[in-house]
Amino acid sequence: MKIAFIGDIVGRPGREMIKIHLKKLRETYEIDFVIANYENASHGYGLTPKNCNELINSGVDLMTGGNHSFDKKEIKDIFESHPLIRPLNYSDEVAGEGYKIVEVKNEKLAVINLMGHFGMPFIENAFLKINKKVDELLEEGIKNIFIDFHAEATAEKRALFMMLKDKVSAIIGTHTHVGCDDLQIVDSCAYLSDIGLTGCRDNVIGMDKREPIQRMLTGLSGHFDVPKKCKKILQIAILDIEDGDAKQFIKLKVFDDSRVIKSEAYID
């Protein structure tokens, strides 16, 4: 199976890049299933039903979240009606699920959303929670396992990779909005510290630069806003997975001025 993953979609600019480019990318690279992180998709904070439908109509099959998953109150209803998950290590008392099992080319694929600890809300231990869930999936005979690890610290992401690399198919980081190019395949597991944002590329983590700069100068927090006009980027990972093993892994940076930069994973 060939799956693709798009990181933090930030506001209208991010949604526009997906609407313009995703269906063509699916055709060109013969992608069977697309996963995308929604947590910043609606003006930078959470997801609305309208924007959820927009992304699905643009070619996204399943969406993952993070620390902004619950910023829009409507999210509870969307969980029940749309292919949407939130981090596995949120309390079982909150709405939504932390993973989904889907059929792709007559094979089962488990997609798990997990959240780290540094700088994040109060949640259950990510490493204990994911260890248990992965073992359960393997006992069920599910070999194709993809994890979106939504975390600030690269050390947490790397530690998770070292812990699970012989058990899962891929671990790709989200949350920082800053794309990395350390893509690799080790012990048949694909890894990337952070796929990076899809949205504005000429500001600060997809947001208008003025408020972040003011925060750095004064220490006072204000509301971050997604710019109405900006230069844009779409960052997408594409993976070939066979019988639970990652066989090929590339990353594309698609710019709004028609440039495309391709990176390929090294294999150990």
H or E, element range at 17: helix 11-28
Q: CA 161 to CA 13: how far, in whole Å? A: 31
CB 54 within 8 A of CB 26: no
Burial class (CB in 10 A: 0-12, 13-18, 19+), 211: middle
Instruction: Sheet containing 184-186: give its strands across.
Output: 99-104, 107-115, 144-150, 170-174, 189-192, 184-186, 266-267
Annotated catalytic residue: which of 21, 68, 150, 175? Answer: 68
H or E, element range at 146: strand 144-150
Token pair, residue 151, equals 């975390």
Chain centroid offset of residue 144 CA: 17
H or E, element range at 131: helix 126-139
Q: CA 221 to CA 228: how far, in whole Å? A: 21
Chain centroid offset of residue 36 CA: 5
Chain centroid offset of residue 75 CA: 17
- DSSP SS3 for 240: strand
SS3 content of the chain, % helix, strand, coil (to 5): 25, 30, 45
Is residue 177 flagged as an active site residue? no
Q: Which residues are catalytic?
A: 68
